[in-house]
Structure 1
């Protein structure tokens, strides 16, 4: 006997990952249930950046709230690199209009109701999966997808030691003078001239900044990856020291942003009966921290595979359905690419501040189509290997030695 809340698929979560996969499942004509402890209409607290071309390839560039053509990075210190001139990327970057993205995904959900519940337990059987909530309510589905995020307690994965996390502290505000140029976006400002000798020996961080117009700017001090992560207090202190060194005072804070998420979270076990999507499924790019582009690209194929599996074999067990989903979500090629990126991140985490700056100078000398696809995780495996080898041979000797751990 089926429970009254029985569905083809039950999605847990209400963030970008949950909305992406739920909307595609609805588009496949499946009966979908959705559970979350927060409303899917609640504003998302953080900003989401993406290279504009990546979004254009999906026909979704209208969802950008901001777009910059003048994009650049700073890696010099006037000593081991020539001058302090920026590297110009000549590649448009944008920030999602989070409300527009949220609204577009909710509209694709065709009125799907999110039940405000906190999941307590998940019980698997041969034919279905039952979700038991703190309220006492029970929900049942052919398959359940965990899109709660990387902190989900329900997804099983191997323990491979400390997990490196990207941490950032940022403010949207008004300043005594512009922290970046007019209509300008700075991907990475690694200039270390404001750091003490002691700070130069600590894990490095960089400035990520942009002009929002009307004398409003977003500045964020970011640690690419570190285990344990740099604290909010350290990043906030570094941000203010960086600004002060350039004679810039914060006049008004309109919004504060705190980010902390894993970069090298191990892949989940791909034979478990609970499927995942987004941070729960380790979909954060290990080399860049980006994920929203991957969510938008990979959700349609996953939803289609689940719909086809249910249609072809209505008696397929929850475990077998989950296995079909895992096979699409983490193909052998995607697994290998993920491992390569994680290996690269491990090497970068061993670099000191100077070596890291020199690495990025070499990285952005790659052809634009290569470095941009590297950051978006859209390079086929053979091409990714070629690009990584090319980077190795292009890099200065000391960077190459660092890449091989010498």
Structure 2
């Protein structure tokens, strides 16, 4: 098997937002980096978003397609969140994560089984081999029956067409009102309505978590019904977005350290991972520069504790009675802003995450409280 040059410092397998960020920042620190992806120059089609304050300063302010200063949620009633939320401009983000200092290879990697010894090379399906001091797997996570997932069906329409669905504001982060013709007792879904910065709005019916998530056909039916109830008719031939991805990483331990969603940086309660990956990139790069274990650097004890608490929250969401969902999120978004932020963002604030969960436990109705308690017992 031929060797593609001498050993490099780092081989990143997968060049989605997480892998591209890691390759970019590692190269900027002077490491010799190879990035491997089947389609490294293909643009990203998914809609990526984040709370603006989650994104590290080095990313800059020119990567946003749209920003909403105070998005709204609707559980039992309407609330305004005093926290800016943004939709990434994928092209601008790719430019910011420049790979001019990275040797990019278009190919599919064959990584060894978890039981293998420490990996020092990557075999490509075409027979080539890349030797590297460190190999990091950033290929994302594929849907699996064992993993909870998020599903959504959305359409992009003009702001004028979307206006009746938005009401008096310009965005819905979550709108749980029951006007989507879902059957009584069926798994719930909400409307996510977000401007895209070019005079258009993404209107998306979303199943936050399920095992499995709601089928896309059912979400499409609910979206059409919800929008019709608000006087919105979806134009024919518009842009459609279909979403399905796990909100958990598979249980894995082995020779190849992971990064991004594959490493568990996906928030199990929201499905967001891009901002967490961008924020964690320099932690991993620092470990690589110092020749330390990147997995240990990525997951200190505090981060593992926060992840366990959030997995407990995911278990509660999966067990929550559908009729209790709107009240549950109404109670969550009534929490003080710092407790909302502790649960939704950051990876090492154990006290803040626990305080948010305890505050929520004390304020939800007795039925939801029993669900939360059972989830805690199961995790324990």
* TM-score (normalizing by structure 1): 0.84
Relative to 1, partners in 2 of residues 1:65 and 1:6: Cα closer, same or farther, differing over 3 Å?
same
1:97 to 89, 105, 110: 89
Partner residue, 1:207 = 191
- 1:185 and 2:178 are equivalent in the alignment: no
- Inter-partner Cα distance in structure 1 for 2:93 and 2:260: 16
**Contact (CA 8 Å) 1:17, 1:295: kept in 2 or not?**
yes
- Taking the TM superposition and a 5 Å limit, the aligned residue runs for 1:274-293 are 274-293=256-275
Partner residue, 2:136 = 145
Q: Which runs of 5+ in 1 are unaligned?
A: 77-84, 153-158, 310-320
Partner residue, 2:71 = 71
**Contact (CA 8 Å) 1:38, 1:116: kept in 2 or not?**
yes
**Contact (CA 8 Å) 1:172, 1:253: kept in 2 or not?**
no
- Inter-partner Cα distance in structure 1 for 2:224 and 2:356: 37
1:352 deviation in Å? 2.2
Partner residue, 2:341 = 372
* TM-score (normalizing by structure 2): 0.90
SS of residue in 2 equivalent to 1:275: coil
Relative to 1, partners in 2 of residues 1:126 and 1:201: Cα closer, same or farther, differing over 3 Å?
closer
Partner residue, 1:52 = 52
Query: Can you list the C-alpha shifts for 1:195-243, whole angstroms capped at 9, x where unaligned?
Result: 25xx221111111002346652210111111012211111111111111
- Inter-partner Cα distance in structure 1 for 2:369 and 2:126: 56
**Contact (CA 8 Å) 1:183, 1:211: kept in 2 or not?**
no
Q: Which runs of 5+ in 2 are unaligned?
A: 376-380
**Contact (CA 8 Å) 2:27, 2:101: kept in 1 or not?**
no
**Contact (CA 8 Å) 1:373, 1:379: kept in 2 or not?**
no
- Taking the TM superposition and a 5 Å limit, the aligned residue runs for 1:100-179 are 100-106=92-98, 109-122=99-112, 129-151=120-142, 162-174=146-158, 176=161, 178=163, 179=165
**Contact (CA 8 Å) 2:24, 2:97: kept in 1 or not?**
yes
- Taking the TM superposition and a 5 Å limit, the aligned residue runs for 1:7-406 are 7-39=8-40, 41-55=41-55, 60-76=60-76, 85-106=77-98, 109-122=99-112, 129-151=120-142, 162-174=146-158, 176=161, 178=163, 179-181=165-167, 184-196=170-182, 199-212=183-196, 216-269=200-253, 272-309=254-291, 324-378=293-347, 380-405=349-374
SS of residue in 2 equivalent to 1:285: coil
- Inter-partner Cα distance in structure 1 for 2:198 and 2:279: 34
Question: Could you say which structure has the larger radius of gyration?
Answer: 1
SS of residue in 2 equivalent to 1:259: strand
